[in-house]
Structure 1
Amino acid sequence: MFDGRSRRIMSIWFPRLASDRVLRACPLEAPFALIWREGNTDRISCLNAAAEGQGLACGMALSEARAFCPALRTAPADPPREARFQESLRRWATRYCPWVGLEGADGLVLDITGSDHLWGGEEAMLGEMQGRLARARITARLGLADTRGAAWALAHFAPGRAAPGAGMRALAPLPVAALRLPPETVTGLQRLGLRDIGDLTRTPRAPLARRFGKGLMARLDQALGAAPEQISPRADPPHYGVRLTLPEPIGAREDVMEGVRRLLARLCAKLKAREAGARVLALTLRRVDQASQQVELRLAAPLRDPQRIAPLFARGLEDVDAGFGIDQMRLEATQVEPLPIRQIGAVATETRDRLGDLITRIGLRIGLENVQRCLPAESHIPERSFLIAPAAFSEPEGNWHPPQPRPLRLFAPEPLSADSPDPPRRFRWRRLSLTTERAEGPERLAPEWWFDDPNWRRGVRDYWRVETGQGWRLWMFHTPQDPGWFVEGIFA
């Protein structure tokens, strides 16, 4: 049988984790709540102590909450940032013991077996953790017991410490909800008169298992130490950073580039081991006077080839002031993307690599966002049939396949002095007198009614391809419901 007394488990519950995250940056004494949308209703997801004092609770509709507390201040909930905040607390808790895992979305679980003596005992350890969290303005409730289930129960219903081997005595007066049971199971037990864990332990197990399933007994055994429950510590994300400490300060650009090459060789080895590629690199140069300068390199595609990356740092190093010398260099990949191992030597792969290097070199001068490409879009409207996106952050897609020829140059419609439904024989455009030699059409296009485009408020358009005697090949259209002729494009 599993012996739960051989371990000491701590559970930390953050009942106001989300609101504490917001209020740490902007302290507020007034009632405050975070709001999330459920269907067509705004509901409270987390609130501070002042809001709880006004009778508000999580899950309450915002309209109902404002009726109780007109002075309530709100902000939208942000689950991704709340998850990152919980992860930062998990990393902080590793200073007390190496085995730290997440407990739901608002808690931590620590296996402190053999670690408490480093802090002067369990009581001192609890006090030190509680004090640090309080100074950081984070509401926390701590429970310490022999098992994970008992520690969770204490943290949520009776914060404190249960002496080794005294788990049953600490759990007996707690409600059955302290066993981490579903709400329907808790309600069913209460209807039978089983309101606390002590009542549950004095009741025959077989009838309870038949009525509520094995889950009830499993939770009770885990809390009492009769069944094992593992703690899975969450591994820290890989860190892609390398450092080079120099025995003598350097200042020549060639020496700095040589240091960059050595750092890149080590960093790219780490990236290759995890089949990843760097998109953003940060080179930090520390001078002997403790001042630091940073050179950032943004790549058009994920890379881990040191020979291709090293020359790209040359331009950024031109503006570095070495002062009295650089004694430490640090290179870190601040943005990393998956880059699986692939076959090398293929023509398509080499072409793509050369294009990525070219985009990176141009982007170093004018910015990666300013190197753009056109992508096809689903629309029969010519000016909406393409999108413009940064080439470094998009992939080329298929070719355009328009139903009819389209001009290479498009511009805003320019009116002509003609109103007949057929292309005019003579007309003036851009101060030029033109004559129509050949016309093909019409091709009728209807506006996309779901977009309010001022250029299409005249309704449908009849497009013509017009060749003029002066050599111009124009794309013109006529609006029959509001007679008028316009030029919108030029064929090559």
Structure 2
Amino acid sequence: MGLSDAKALCPDLLTRAADHYADDRFLKLLARWADRYCPWVGFDGHDGLLLDVTGSTHFFSSEADLLDDIHDRLYSYQLNVRSGLAGTIGGAWAVSHFSKGVVPNGQLKAALSPLPAAALRLDETTCATLQRLGLRTIGDLLATPRATLGRRFGLPLMRRLDQALGDQAEQVNAVAPDVSYAARLNFPDPIGLYDDVAAALERLLHRICEKLKTQEMGTRVLLMTCQRVDRASVQVELRLARPMRDAATILPLFERSVREIDAGFGIDQIRLEALSVEALPAKQLDVGGAQVKQNDALSDLITRLGSRIGLDKIKRFQVADSHIPERSFIVSPAAYCEAEGEWEVQSGRPLRLFSPEPIDGREKSPPTAFRWRRMRFSVAQATGPERICPEWWLDDPDWRSGVRDYWRVETRQGRRLWMFFTPQNPAWFVQGEFA
């Protein structure tokens, strides 16, 4: 029911907003914990786990004892769980959701027959239709001819029924283990000199980069944690403008930060971890290899400057798809975007733009003489108009006045200006200047 109806029936009802990210993270941690019982652990939706305990039950006196151990441990963590153990995934799912315990070998059909049809993992529409037809339990479905069920409900129902009884194979999709890109180095005696820290960092970098290369991954963020003898820790974070896995290239980028480390009475442990990784497949260099190296050199320069002032403060102009002069480009952090080749300047548009500055004039044609920025100009030639309409789907206060008629004006004083006229509210403005 809806939340308002539920609170009307139960005024003291406690509610909390769902955090799906935290739920998924907890389920992954629970899957790692379940590795103690079997090597094959998979997810069952967003609230369950599937364990293939084939060959693992002999570590316990019986299958029931295995389930009891799972429940006892989870209850100690204040978790309420439901479980079921059967010879098939569908049978275990049905028992865990609508019954409990262990289904002995050879008794799967008898254990599933009294359970409702929803225990076959069917959708709500199919379950409602089965209820109207009087087929309320799995036993009712088994007593009905297969040809009749197949014609009425099709393949999904028959597949779920066969999977539950073991007539159709189904296996657990095990959770792929997360690869940890981290390395640690302990020292028998504390160190504090820059050369010693740099040597240790180089060794850790080679270990992580080898793992990144094996996985065809690259890192954008590296975190070095130095544990001092007084139990305090010093951290150095390096953000890269491009994904990298070359230790020889990364190591010099750490130099400035490593020299500023306060070693205190000495450092007895250094840990290096790649916090942000992304795919970096191997590439075959061709005739354009020189251009690739040039782009990498630019990214390394951005990284060195960003370590001093911050990567977000180094900007790059990007082309935007808009006919509005002010919106024909965007400014983005250079470290998180790629250059889009040569900048194509639309004909008739100036390279220098500024906020519209009003001048005297009410006529539709450009004024023969006007005053702008405390200077007087006389028009030698005017080309136009070019009518530009506002983007009605964007609420831009500078364009609420309506359409604009742009003119390219050449003055006798040598200045070439980009001016526009607003027909709705007659007025003239200067917005750009040609080189």
TM-score by length of 2: 0.86
- What does 1:166-185 correspond to in 2, within 5 Å? 166-183=107-124, 185=126
Matched, 1:423 2:396: no
**1:421 Cα deviation after fit:** 3.5
Q: Distance in 1 between matches of 2:208 and 2:194?
A: 21
Matching residue of 1:342: 283
Distance 1:406 1:136, change over 3 A: farther
Matching residue of 1:359: 302
Q: Distance in 2 between matches of 1:379 and 1:155?
A: 57
Matched, 1:412 2:327: no
Matching residue of 1:41: none
CA offsets, 1:28-86, max 9 Å, x none?
Answer: xxxxxxxxxxxxxxxxxxxxxxxxxxxx3xxx6x6776776788787776656644443
Matching residue of 1:486: 429
Q: Distance in 2 between matches of 1:320 and 1:313?
A: 11
**1:164 Cα deviation after fit:** 5.4
Matched, 1:325 2:263: no
Matched, 1:388 2:357: no
SS, match of residue 94 in structure 1: helix
**1:233 Cα deviation after fit:** 1.1
Consecutive unaligned residues in structure 1, runs of 5 or more: 1-55
Asked if structure 2 preserves the Cα contact closer than 8 Å seen for 1:376 and 1:398, the reply is: no
Q: Out of 300, 303, 317, which is 1:374 matched to?
A: 317
- What does 1:136-151 correspond to in 2, within 5 Å? 138-151=79-92
Query: Which amino acid in 2 is paired with 1:417?
Result: D
Q: Out of 447, 472, 481, which is 2:390 matched to?
A: 447
**Identity %, equivalent residues:** 55
**1:295 Cα deviation after fit:** 1.2
Q: Out of 33, 37, 43, which is 1:92 matched to?
A: 33
Q: Distance in 1 between matches of 2:332 and 2:130?
A: 59
RMSD in angstroms over aligned alpha carbons?
A: 3.2
Q: Distance in 1 between matches of 2:174 and 2:265?
A: 46
Matched, 1:246 2:187: yes
Q: Distance in 2 between matches of 1:443 and 1:271?
A: 54
Matched, 1:475 2:418: yes
Q: Distance in 2 between matches of 1:119 and 1:430?
A: 90
CA offsets, 1:1-51, max 9 Å, x none?
Answer: xxxxxxxxxxxxxxxxxxxxxxxxxxxxxxxxxxxxxxxxxxxxxxxxxxx
Matched, 1:229 2:167: no
**1:157 Cα deviation after fit:** 0.4
Matching residue of 1:50: none
Query: Which amino acid in 2 is paired with 1:180?
Result: R
Q: Out of 232, 245, 248, which is 1:307 matched to?
A: 248
> Using CA pairs below 8 Å that are at least 6 residues apart, which structure has the higher relative contact order?
1
Q: Distance in 1 between matches of 2:120 and 2:74?
A: 26
- What does 1:49-128 correspond to in 2, within 5 Å? 56=1, 82-116=23-57, 122-123=63-64, 125-128=66-69
Distance 1:319 1:120, change over 3 A: farther
Matching residue of 1:47: none
Asked if structure 1 preserves the Cα contact closer than 8 Å seen for 2:216 and 2:279, the reply is: yes
Q: Distance in 2 between matches of 1:71 and 1:475?
A: 67
Asked if structure 1 preserves the Cα contact closer than 8 Å seen for 2:217 and 2:278, the reply is: yes
CA offsets, 1:189-212, max 9 Å, x none?
Answer: 555654333445556656655665
Distance 1:228 1:443, change over 3 A: closer
Q: Distance in 2 between matches of 1:163 and 1:433?
A: 100
**1:302 Cα deviation after fit:** 0.7
Q: Distance in 2 between matches of 1:118 and 1:463?
A: 83
Q: Distance in 1 between matches of 2:232 and 2:105?
A: 52
Distance 1:429 1:194, change over 3 A: closer
Consecutive unaligned residues in structure 2, runs of 5 or more: none
**1:250 Cα deviation after fit:** 1.6
Asked if structure 2 preserves the Cα contact closer than 8 Å seen for 1:376 and 1:399, the reply is: no
Q: Distance in 2 between matches of 1:481 and 1:205?
A: 75
Matching residue of 1:153: 94
Q: Distance in 2 between matches of 1:179 and 1:87?
A: 25
Matched, 1:273 2:214: yes
Distance 1:145 1:488, change over 3 A: same
**1:448 Cα deviation after fit:** 2.3
Query: Which amino acid in 1 is paired with 2:425?
Result: D
CA offsets, 1:153-189, max 9 Å, x none?
Answer: 1111013334555544433322232233445554565
Query: Which amino acid in 1 is paired with 2:283?
Result: R
Q: Distance in 1 between matches of 2:85 and 2:255?
A: 56
Q: Distance in 2 between matches of 1:309 and 1:456?
A: 48
Distance 1:188 1:358, change over 3 A: same
Query: Which amino acid in 2 is paired with 1:172?
Result: S
Query: Which amino acid in 1 is paired with 2:396?
Result: D
**1:313 Cα deviation after fit:** 0.8
Q: Out of 134, 137, 142, which is 1:196 matched to?
A: 137
Equivalenced residue count is: 433
**1:445 Cα deviation after fit:** 2.1
SS, match of residue 83 in structure 2: strand
